[in-house]
Homo-oligomer: A and B are copies of this chain.
Amino acid sequence: MIQTTLFQLDDYGPWTVQPTPRSEMDLQVLQARLYANIAAFVGDREGYAFYTRGDNIIGITNGLDREEHERLQASLRNRYPVTVSFGIGTGETPRTALEAASTALQTAGSAQDETRTGVCRGKTLIEDRMKNGTSDENTVHVAHFDIESATEQFTDRLDAFETYTAIHRWCGSLARHLYRTHDALSFFVGGDNVVSICPAMDEQAYHDVIDHVTESVGIPFRVGVGAGRTAHKAGLAAKYGLERGRERKQPVVITEQPQTVSL
């Protein structure tokens, strides 16, 4: 079981242009700081949060209960000129968990509803288990992808915008394919790196994903895969797998046993 949280700014679009349009860099700084605050809070509890659209941030929050969500929400209310509503959802796959989180929030009101202010809706894994007796098996699987020789092939050779669009195209193709075929949620995390929250998948499935996407966009890439009780633990194991794959020139490395890793 996966738990996700959708962090959605309340009535943000209208705020950015009232009473007159606000400076774009001020908005960018606000969004980056808000994201950094959420990522630090969620990360401190071994969860993950992804910038996504800036006004809609997606979190993998296995390990955060309702009280911790409310603490974060109170803290954001004390720091920012805008409020943030939270939708929490659980599911068998990352996709169904996020659908539940999205629905919980949509039911509470539109993203541009003036009266929806800092609500927290939906169910956490613990609440779900107590009510519905759902499984307490809640391993998170993380796949960490990067491009082979991206620095040599792109960064040091093309102009910065061409590199950017090439990598975004690869990332978009990979994300859509993994979503459709495996209910996975994938996010660009900078450089030439994509982090995917996946269901349990075997090595062949990852080879198939790589083959399919490489065929479509012509960029060879690798993946390290890890599992753990939290996104942080699974993600670190995935990074170890990716490093091992780089050394051994293997495109897919699944770290069977979680590493005993430093933080």
**Interface set of A (CB-CB < 8 Å, partner B):** 6, 8, 12-13, 17, 20-33, 35-37, 39-44, 47-56, 58, 70-71, 74-75, 77-81, 95, 98-99, 101-103, 106, 110-112, 151-152, 155-165, 167-169, 172, 175-176, 179, 185, 189-192, 195, 232, 235-236, 239-240, 243, 261-263
The verdict on A240 contacting B21 (CB below 8 Å), with A28-B39, A29-B36 known, is yes
Having A13-B191, A17-B239, A30-B79, one finds 8 other A-B pairs with CB under 8 Å, namely A25-B232, A28-B36, A29-B39, A30-B78, A53-B167, A56-B155, A79-B81, A110-B152
> Of A21, A41, A77, which is in contact with the most chain B CB atoms at under 10 Å from its CB?
A21
The verdict on A70 contacting B263 (CB below 8 Å), with A52-B164, A155-B111 known, is yes
Complex Cα gap A179–B160 (Å)? 12
Complex Cα gap A207–B1 (Å)? 47
Is the pair B79, A189 in contact by a Cβ cutoff of 8 Å? no
The verdict on A156 contacting B49 (CB below 8 Å), with A31-B190, A151-B13 known, is no
Residue in B40, B53, B75, B111 whose CB lies within 8 Å of A190: B53
A interface majority secondary structure:
helix
- How near does chain B come to A10, taking the closest CB pair, in angstroms? 12
Is the pair A165, B160 in contact by a Cβ cutoff of 8 Å? no
A160 / chain B contacts, CB cutoff of 8 Å? 6, 8, 52, 56, 58, 98, 101-102
Complex Cα gap A74–B44 (Å)? 11
Is the pair A161, B95 in contact by a Cβ cutoff of 8 Å? yes
Complex Cα gap A139–B22 (Å)? 21
- How near does chain B come to A72, taking the closest CB pair, in angstroms? 8
18 A-B interface contacts by CB (under 8 A): A13-B151, A17-B243, A23-B232, A23-B263, A24-B189, A25-B43, A25-B44, A25-B48, A26-B79, A33-B79, A53-B163, A56-B163, A74-B262, A98-B160, A98-B161, A102-B158, A111-B155, A162-B179
